[in-house]
Structure 1
Amino acid sequence: MMQEAFTFLKTIDTELFRYIEEYGLVMYVVLFFIVYAKTAFVVLTFLPGDSTVFASGTIAATGHLNVWVLFLLFFFATIIGDTQNYTIGMLIKRAKAKSGRFSLLKYIPEQTITRATNFLERYGKIAITFSRFVPLMRTTVPLVSGFTSFKFRDFFLHNCLGALIWTIVWLFTGFALGNIPAVADNLVISLILISFTGLIPAIIAFSVEYIKKYAKKTRQLQ
């Protein structure tokens, strides 16, 4: 039973059309839960997020799902999920302060926490908005924000902005491309290509850092 549920969740993006035909309107609830759970719990980062929203938009273009219902579902799912993740971070900090030792952060790789902390310190509020476009950062940044007592008002506002941008980008890109037969007929291939876009932020960040270091080294030589 658990294996079947795991397979269902892992293949929700590639087999979404078949699941819609089999389960009907229940899939709206399932799609909401997947996006919510992926953003609310660090341990569920394996769930397909970007690709699920993209696939939903593609299928909505065929009339099997309502794109505006999906927009509201995904928008609120990611806001609620990230806010819960922020709250978990706050509770972990309080528990650690009270006991002096207890912390659920020990179950998360230290390197991941460090990367998220550095990402948040370096980019500030904008990190909350765009972290959902960066693999691993999308779930650890909200958690670290709560753990480091990042002001909730600022977090919530930038969280909502990020949720809006993220939902629009993936859902309506899928919806637009869903009207192209080649995309609709080869959804799996499209999703594989889409998955590589998650590397774009990392590539851009690496390029910017390389250019800065190169420019600094050039100035020193002069």
Structure 2
Amino acid sequence: MLDTLQHIISDLTPYLHQYGYFILALAIAVEGVGIPAPGQSFLIVSGILAAGGQMSLPGVLLVAGLSAFSGNCIGYIIGLRFGDVLLKKGWVKPQTERRLHGFIERYGMIALLLSRFIEGLKQTMCIGCGIAKLPLKTFLLGNLLATVSWVLLFGVGPAILRHEMTPLLTFYHSHQLLMWAIGTLVVLGGAVAIWLWQKKRSANSC
């Protein structure tokens, strides 16, 4: 894993030196419209470079946050306005649409929040929210929570832990099951909190 991180840093740093915040914004934004791109990797490397003074950390966080949020909104609008076209063209299968409807209607913002950290879902969930006609207010709030959580974890985290990255990755490599268990508990805890909030809000509106 350490070798993988060093490989990512060495591969992406020249692009950030040459194109700066533009390549960071582009890579992150296009993921929201269903196009696979190394947005998360660019964010991690940008955070590390910012910690070394080669980029501005506030600039990195602002660009990443705005790009993620706006890219997701574009994906939502595409799903909302052109969902029928995607289905007719066969780009979205009917069974996939049914699963999306069921999943999003059941979990709402929780699905949007968790998908931000899962490759594949991260690129398609916002389009799926549009196809499933997720209410705009629910989408915007979920998008905001997902974007802020993601930017803080993968932007601020690497900047703060730059010097501790090697021992942390070594520890992670030696205790992967423990770290995954802790991460799962944290995510589930946040998901349950959002679900309880939604349930309480629904009860109050009745």
* TM-aligned CA distance change 1:121 to 1:181, over 3 Å: closer
SS in 2 for 1:150: coil
- CA drift of 1:75 comes to 0.4
The residue number in structure 1 matching 2:124 is: 140
Among 138, 141, 147, the alignment partner of 1:157 is: 141
The residue number in structure 2 matching 1:55 is: 45
Query: Alpha carbon RMSD of aligned pairs, Å?
Result: 3.4
Among 14, 26, 29, the alignment partner of 1:33 is: 26
* TM-aligned CA distance change 1:110 to 1:55, over 3 Å: farther
Structure 2 unaligned runs (5+)?
1-6, 189-206
Structure 1 unaligned runs (5+)?
1-10, 184-188, 209-222
Q: Which amino acid aligns with 2:119?
A: P
Are 2:8 and 1:15 aligned? no
The structure with the largest alpha-carbon Rg is 1
TM-score, length-scaled by structure 2: 0.70
CA contact (8 A) 1:75 1:164 kept: yes
CA contact (8 A) 1:58 1:179 kept: no
Q: Which amino acid aligns with 1:61?
A: A
CA contact (8 A) 1:54 1:174 kept: yes
Matches within 5 A, 1:97-136: 103=87, 106-108=90-92, 113=97, 116-136=100-120
Post-superposition Cα deviations, 1:48-102, rounded to whole Å, max 9, x if no partner, equal 1322211111111111111100000000101100100000001123xx3xxxx77
SS in 1 for 2:55: coil
Would you say how many aligned residue pairs link Structure 1 and Structure 2? 174
- CA drift of 1:177 comes to 2.2
Q: Which amino acid aligns with 2:45?
A: A
